[in-house]
Amino acid sequence: MGVDHAWEHFYSAVRFTLVSDASPQGRLSYLISEVCHLQRDSFPDEQVWDEFRRLLDKTTKRGTGDKGAERIDTTSQMSEERAKECLQAAFDIFCHVAKAFGRAEFVI
């Protein structure tokens, strides 16, 4: 995959969160469900990857038993303020990914 893959998923998810009438928790839940599968090679560097993993840790938890590898959404339990902070963090991650995508896309 690559940064282009992360850009596609973040772009779509961020765009939805901007126009949705859902609660901040609902918008965050949608965004996380769209990007939670991304792997390290989808991010431009370790710093952005670490920011992404911190966001996942704030918004999900690991499943137990047969679902141990799956992440379970915890956004519905968040306050509105906390959900908004996570949405801002997701937007910041998207900005880093978009910059890297632009650099990679327009290298001559």
Tell me how many domains the chain contains: 1
- Going from the C-alpha of 91 to that of each of 17, 62, 101, the distances in angstroms are 10, 23, 15
Domain that holds residue 63: 3-105
Q: State percent of the chain over pLDDT 70.
A: 87
Q: Is 97 exposed, middle or buried (0-12, 13-18, 19+ CB in 10 A)?
A: buried
pLDDT for 2: 83
pTM for this structure?
0.86
Q: Is the pLDDT of residue 86 over 60?
A: yes
The secondary structure of 53-68 as a DSSP string is: HHHHHHHEEE--GGGT
pLDDT for 23: 95
Rounded CA separation 18/28 (Å)? 11
Band (pLDDT 50/70/90 cuts) for residue 1 is: low
Q: What is the pLDDT of residues 53-78, one digit of tens each?
A: 999 999 988 766 565 567 778 888 89
